[in-house]
Amino acid sequence: MTTHLTHWGAFEADSDGDRLTAVRPWRDDPEPMRLIENVASAQHHPTRVDQPYVRRGWLEDGPGAARRGNDPFVPVSWEKALDLLAGELGRVYREHGAEAVYGGSYGWASAGRFHHAQSQLHRFLNCLGGYVHHVNSYSLGVSQVLLPHVIGELGWVMQAATSKSVLAEHAELVVAFGGLSPKNAAVSPGGVSRHNVRGWIGAARARGCRFVSVTPLRDDSPAEAQAEWLAPRPGSDSALMLALAQVLDAEGLADTGFLDKYTVGYDRFIEYVRGTTDGIVKSPEWAATITGLAAERIRTLAREMAAARTMVTVSWSLQRAQYGEQPLWLGVVLAAMLGQIGLPGGGFGHGYGSAASLGEPARLFSPPRLPQGLNGVDKFIPVARIADMLLNPGQPFEYNGQHLVYPDIKLVYWAGGNPFHHHQDLARLRAAFARPDTVVVHDPFWSATARHADIVLPSTMSIERDDFGAGENDRVFFAMKAITRPHGQARDDYAILGDLADRLGIGKDFTEGRTVDEWLRHLYEEWRLHHSGHDLPDFDTFWASEHIELPVPDPDQVLGAEFRADPDQHPLTTPSGKIEIFSQTIDSFGYAECPGHPVWLEPEEWLGGPAAAEFPLQLVANQPRTKLHSQLDVGTHSQSAKVAGREPVRLHPEDAAARGLRDGDVVRIVSRRGSCLAGLIVDDGLRQGIAQLSTGAWYDPDPANPAFCRHGNPNVLTPDRPSSRLAQGCTGQLSLVDVERYEGVVPELAVNRPPATAL
């Protein structure tokens, strides 16, 4: 039996050397997740990449994008693949420079710190002179830009978040904008040791804490919460929050003492709320026409929030939409108006229920990791602008007050992650991927990104290699020994890049002469020496053990407690050192879609707008329940949720009946950008007017129409539109669609088998 760590939990496994013969949840996990069932069933699935491949057109005609995504692949030896790739890297760096290489590699890849795919690739490219990089993430692109202006760096907001144990003991009311999704709280970058979302919520509820879940989906909070479900129109949360602020102000419930001492700009904001600046009072009656909620319930909720120790938490989903800056900023403002930031059980949170790490008390230090070196290129893009970059080389764009220019990319190198999962408007992304000379991908599976590459190199899964790892803000640090041999000819990214580095004359720079085992020992012992004041075992003892526990200095941490106690000695990292309800910095950028204080802005695609006449359903493209993003979609647990082999879409019974649809039907979902097939589930657990289709189905485009996915990937439907010029964040959460029964013969899926090959 060997213990292993994944992004969705630790598990114990038995192996015959080639495959896992038994997989069980880690015995110390109080709320284990079934996602581990995908690991064993996916390891030797036909979609594993078994050896290196080169796209036939690239192999025969040289660099160029003709037929990329439709061409068959030619199996080649490792020697030939690495020789070809080394030659192409040399050509691009020599003829175009490092600014022509995009080291994408955005995504979760596999757990484990040394074999972290992005770190490996970025270290390699830095040894060559650098690469164009990305900033921010698809999950938190708005938060990473906005929060430093308003309350503090995102890392602080998340790592110093009030502990779940403190909420369980002290919170009297939790108002969760976007809910407290148990499926999202099942995962965390790098791993989860002990799941506890149901435990802390159940304990809080048993003590008398009330939960209000503000979301179009009833199951966005666990049963233990016994939550009151408020379901406003998606995209209207900022109107609801403004109305809550209006009641707090009008009824004298705002904590003016807190606002005066700890914030700046409240006077500018509240004039907008009162209607002084635009003639519109942001009252519950005003918000009722936008949200669809009863005005009186909005009014009483504001009073309840003021009368209780209240945690205002905003899920990551709300900022993954057009104008996503507004509800996130308003969450901070509401918490400030209540005056409870820095108090146990009250204040502001961002992401309880969005990831397992939120509310875990911060560990004293993080586990060791592979150094990436220095990037010699300073050009970058916000990560969600990759299609814009590839389609518009040399064109200007704005980001967070900066005026930038898209680089001209000749080579894309990806190891870890799958942009055809994360990105929106996949037909447009496919056109963008046709622009570079060469696309290189390391992947264990024939993902959509691998199928749109020129050179595909098979990489190992984490169960096939030695590593160590711990989840983000997780105190348990695991020794991750290889459980099986690699599938086919798969190699570790380190081995692949090490051989490439030797061919390019940078071998010593990249490997420093160390094997994997020597790197693990070196990184660990260097880390242990750096933290010599703590009782950390030597490497051999650690490696022989299952795990060690990292120290946690304050298990009862409260976000902003030091700031509240003494704002002069412990100022925030904002420009003023205080909470910025009005940001002079943001205001100076002159962005109409993100002014100096939060406002209500009507989205282009929502149920209250004119576009709903043509597309009368609001698509909610949330995270899946049976997998992490698109990882291991071919696994048994993920496949068990499919309907007719397609990703399931949920409709309210009245919406299904109005379209003559029945449970189990294969349906076609259509938007302005494309369409996809899905299997219908009729469910009253979502607001009427909603179509809920989770992300994660492997993109399976019709060969004649890349805007039509036969498998159910919602990102053929969603817009590739930035949140605003401030953050340039992803807006993949919401779009307008319609749903109809699919007539005719249901097309066969191609993603469950390897692509065509040619010898």
Neighbour tally for 681: CB within 10 Å: 17
Asked whether 143 and 178 are in contact (CB, 8 A), the reply is no
Residues designated catalytic: 106, 108
What does each C-alpha distance from 31 to 159, 356, 358, 465, 745 come to in angstroms? 22, 12, 16, 27, 42
Asked whether 574 and 580 are in contact (CB, 8 A), the reply is yes
Closest CA to 516 of 10, 95, 57, 112: 112
Asked whether 687 and 720 are in contact (CB, 8 A), the reply is no
What does each C-alpha distance from 663 to 114, 437, 697 come to in angstroms? 46, 46, 20
CB burial readout 271-294, b (16+ within 10 A) else e? ebbbeeeeeebbbbebbbebbbbe
Asked whether 240 and 256 are in contact (CB, 8 A), the reply is no
What does each C-alpha distance from 119 to 99, 115, 197, 365 come to in angstroms? 19, 8, 30, 19
Spatial distance between the Cα atoms of 399 and 114, rounded to a whole number of angstroms: 32
Q: What are phi and psi of 539, to 5 degrees?
A: -60, -45
Question: What is the token pair recorded at 367?
Answer: 């586990």
- Using CB atoms within 10 A of its CB, is residue 745 exposed (0-12), middle (13-18) or buried (19+)? exposed
Task: Provide the residue type at 176 as one letter.
Answer: A
**Pairing relation of β-strands 734-741 and 455-458?**
unpaired
Per the DSSP assignment, residues forming a β-bridge with 135 are: 382
Tell me which residue has tokens 């606002």.
259
Spatial distance between the Cα atoms of 131 and 377, rounded to a whole number of angstroms: 6
Please compute Rg for the chain using Cα positions: 25
DSSP characters over 597-634: S------SSSTTSGGGGTS-EEEE----SSSSTTTTTT
Task: Provide the residue type at 538 as one letter.
Answer: D
Q: What are phi and psi of 718, to 5 degrees?
A: -85, 150
Question: What is the token pair recorded at 443?
Answer: 């992947």
